[in-house]
Amino acid sequence: MSKVKFYSGENVPLEMHKVRIIQKLDLVPIDRRLQAIKEAGNNTFLLKNRDIFLDMLTDSGVNAMSDQQLASMMVADDSYAGSESFTRLEQKIEEIFGMKYFLPVHQGRAAENIISKVYVTPGSFVPMNYHFTTTKAHIVLNGGTVEEFITEEGLKFNSDHPFKGNMDTVALQKLIDRVGASKIAYVRVETGTNLIGGQPHSLENLREVSGICKKNGIKLVFDASLLADNLYFIKAREESCKNKSIREITREISDLCDIIYFSARKLGCARGGGICSRNHDDYMKMRELVTLYEGFLTYGGMSVREIEAMTVGLEETMDENMVNQGPQFIEFVVNELHKAGVPVITPAGGLGAHINAGAFVSHIPQSEYPAGALAAALYLVGGIRGMERGSISEQRDADGNETYANMELLRLAAPRRVFTLSQLKFVVDRIIWLYQNRELIGGLKFVEEPKMLRFFFGKLEGTTGWHEKLVAKFKADFGDSL
């Protein structure tokens, strides 16, 4: 994808692919959407796909595969052990990342489980730029403590800083000086920080973090799940990288890290994941757990067809016209919403457009989960499924007290090669209408609350009868059928 200036003067992201296979969509009437969101307990994770028009919940496992990926699945080697499909993937991993050792897993959180079990011990610390939900859960379950050192700019809703996902290296060194290097299980850097708006880190910042790790004898673990978007931002925004290829930037990143893990549901547009290492001892420590939890070493819980698709997908990620699609579509949505006065995270990041729910529905207290309420409201008015990224995505402390998120965000993911520009314009239109009628949105309260990862399974209900009021206003403006 590239940006093309139209004769009208408008800068529009232009798809550098054509659609050859389609999947039918339905926009069910608003009365059915009202029933559906209540059945789901106001949790968009629990909605049925048949009731969804545009699914912007996640970019995980829902990216469109290319014709080359689909073709590769037909030559998969189904052998339980010693599969040639795995050998091709292993060779591609070494070619791209320069890491000799590779362990397949069924998805990213499986890699987090294995890494945490091997390296996290009771009382240890894992400093990182920012946490992800499952990452933090695995570390805590193994007795570790997460320390977040995102830079000050990272938690600003609006900024012109190009790399809001950078780690505060001064704070990192202070922690090492305070607790000692032996208490640091590893340092983790998440590329394209998920929970603060898909904001990227710079190559220079990663170089600084790597230097601190090497000086103190600490492993640097890199979550590369959202690497594709971050590669685009490094090339576009980091002056020293403007003339480098995506492949060259990828290798420079890899050379700074000890362990790289990823979800291929995001990186590579397939379904699976993996752990890459340059050290044989690290590989041996994790190898047995792969066999125990995932499957044999040459499939790791994945279908060999997915392994073939992942191999091709990783190679396609080295194409600049592939990695720029998501960020440019997201930038379009963010810019259109910003022009209309809708509070969004700026600059536009990767993964998806992020709405500042705390400002959008500022009348809803954080104790009533404004991001969750906004997600339910947007589904109601457009059949659009987004994801709450606020306090529902946190969990209560040991005493049962609510832990409030630094940011209350509604994330609208942009799966790669999936949506058309007209569909995104529909999303923008419904959000603008909702913002103009935001006073009709009310809060939520839990009626079924799991102890961990409650955003996946929890159910909530409205604190008032606001759903019906919002539906009535929508019908007055749009009619009954939409």
Query: Cα–Cα distance between 444 and 464 in angstroms, integer?
Result: 8
* Cross-sheet strand order for the sheet of 145-148: 101-105, 273-277, 259-263, 220-223, 187-190, 125-128, 145-148
Query: Cα–Cα distance between 122 and 142 in angstroms, integer?
Result: 6
What angle is formed at CA 119 by the lines to CA 113 and CA 121, rounded to 5 degrees? 100
Q: Which of 86, 97, 119, 132 is catalytic?
A: 132
Question: Would you call 464 a catalytic residue per the annotation?
Answer: no
Question: Would you call 360 a catalytic residue per the annotation?
Answer: no
DSSP classification of residue 146? E
How is the chain split among helix, strand and coil, in percent rounded to 5?
45, 15, 40
Question: Would you call 193 a catalytic residue per the annotation?
Answer: no
Contact indicator for 462, 42 with CB cutoff of 8 Å: yes
Query: Cα–Cα distance between 336 and 365 in angstroms, integer?
Result: 27
Question: Would you call 31 a catalytic residue per the annotation?
Answer: no
- Per DSSP, the three-state class of 284 is helix
Q: For 384, phi and psi rounded to 5 degrees?
A: -100, 125
| Helix ranges, 302-411 (H) | 304-316, 320-323, 325-339, 357-360, 370-382
Q: Which of 223, 229, 258, 282 is catalytic?
A: 223
Question: Would you call 298 a catalytic residue per the annotation?
Answer: no
End-to-end CA distance of the chain: 32
Q: For residue 415, give both structure tokens.
A: 């799966």
Q: Which of 261, 332, 435, 455 is catalytic?
A: 455
Q: Which of 219, 389, 411, 454 is catalytic?
A: 389
DSSP 15-63: -SS---S--------HHHHHHHHHHTTT-GGGS-GGG-SEE-S-SSS-S
Q: For residue 323, give both structure tokens.
A: 């990695």
Q: For residue 137, give both structure tokens.
A: 């859960």
Q: Which of 59, 97, 125, 133 is catalytic?
A: 133
Q: For residue 27, give both structure tokens.
A: 């926009």
Question: Would you call 132 a catalytic residue per the annotation?
Answer: yes
Q: Which of 92, 266, 417, 454 is catalytic?
A: 266
Question: Would you call 133 a catalytic residue per the annotation?
Answer: yes
Q: For 389, phi and psi rounded to 5 degrees?
A: -130, 75
- Other beta carbons within 10 angstroms of residue 403's beta carbon come to 9
The b/e string for 199-222 (b: 16+ C-beta within 10 A; e otherwise) is bbbbbebbebbbebbeebebbbbb
Query: Cα–Cα distance between 389 and 410 in angstroms, integer?
Result: 6
List, by residue number, the catalytic residues.
Answer: 80, 132-133, 223, 266, 389, 455
